[in-house]
Structures are given as structure tokens and as C-alpha cells.
Amino acid sequence: MLSSPVAAEIRYGLERLEAGTRRRLRLEDEYRRLRRLVSWSDWTEQAADEFGRQKARLALRGEIIEDMDLAVGAIALALEASVATLNARHLGRLDGLVVENWQAEG
């Protein structure tokens, strides 16, 4: 499943690459392929509530994470889904979120 914040981060990464390069063209092609394979999940009221709860809890503990990462986690929590990421250290701070580290040896 793909959410709006994840898509925004992917697009940001693609836009930072020089237009027309083989790398950018290959990655844009991979993103289009991904979009055909996975469903889209948008921000819901439940995800917004989860975002607010998690952000307040983290702020009280002095453990701020970026809002985009928090949005990804909140949407996953609302959907009772896990998150696969290279940023497991930050997302692992969210209560109840199952995080799969893409860098972990398997």
C-alpha cells in the first residue's frame, strides 16, 4: 500500500535528480511499476487522530521526528499495517507501529 506522504517523498527524491539521466528515468519507471502493483491509501480522520496522539507523546518525551515520517506511521497505524523503511530508528518510536527495516540482514 502506498500513502500520500510516501508518494510525496518519492517524487521529491526523483525531482532532485537531473532530468533525463538514466538513473532518474530508471527510477521513474520503477515508481510507475510500483504504482501499478500497490493500492493507494489516503489520509483519514483516524490517521489524523493517530498523528496528533503520537506527535504529542513524542514531544512530551523530547523525541520529535519529521512530520512526513510521522504521517506515514500514523496512516499505517490507522490501517493496522506495518511500514518497511530505511528509517526504522525514527519510525520505531511510534507506539504500536510494526517497522520492518529494509537494511536489516535477512
Percentage of the chain beyond pLDDT 70 is: 97
Instruction: Give the model confidence (pLDDT) of 1-18 as tens digits.
Output: 889 898 999 999 999 999
Instruction: To the nearest 10°, report the CA torsion of 59, 64, 68, 69.
Output: -110
- Would you kindly state where each structural domain of the chain is located, as residue ranges? 2-39, 45-101
User: Rounded distance, CA 101 to CA 106, Å?
Assistant: 10
Pick 45-101's CATH classification: 1.10.150.130, 3.40.50.1820, 3.40.50.1010, 1.10.3720.10. 3.40.50.1010
pLDDT classification of 105: cutoffs 50, 70, 90? low
Instruction: Give the model confidence (pLDDT) of 17-45 as tens digits.
Output: 999 999 999 999 999 999 999 998 888 99
CB 53 within 8 A of CB 78: no
